[in-house]
Amino acid sequence: MAKTNYYQPDPKTDLVLERIVDVPTELVWKAWTTPEHILKWFTPAPWKTIDCEIDLRPGGIFRTTMLSPEGQEFPNNGCFLDIVENEKLVFTDIFEPGFKPTANGGFFTAILTLEKHGNGTKYHVLARHKDEESRKKHEEMGFHEGWNTALNQLVELMKAVR
């Protein structure tokens, strides 16, 4: 029986970001899994991440609060679905901690994979959406620019932490 590739992007509903960064995989992982680091890089400037809670286990909380330049707060609640240290982090806002469905139905699921690439990391994000409209909305919100900017901030931070 052929094995299904659940990570194959669907251009109708998925957005993809892939880059090679010159930071070791272990440091990229640390940036994604340490609340103190998330506060410094996760939201593209001039936005800020002002709060973060992580319970790094399937069903554990992944919560951030973003602050707009105008001072408006945007809380984001979700949970982790799958974790393979230094390799894969899957999280969603479709579920709250404990896999409880969210009241608002959620927005997307992110699959972050990391692969060693020389002294750096092949960084791949697959953002899965429930329908074309949600994918289009996320893209129009600036998915590629925002996630690239945040990744640049992650790289800058982790080079300083080394």
| Domains and their CATH numbers in the chain | 14-161 (3.30.530.20)
Judged by DSSP in three states, 108 sits in strand
Q: What pLDDT is attached to residue 161?
A: 86
Place of tokens 């960064």: 21
Q: What pLDDT is attached to residue 4?
A: 57
Is the distance from CB of 89 to CB of 83 less than 8 angstroms? yes
HSE, CB side, 13 Å, CA atoms: give it for residue 26: 3
Residues of the chain scoring pLDDT < 50: none
**Calpha distance 21→153 (Å, rounded):** 11
Question: pTM for the whole thing?
Answer: 0.93
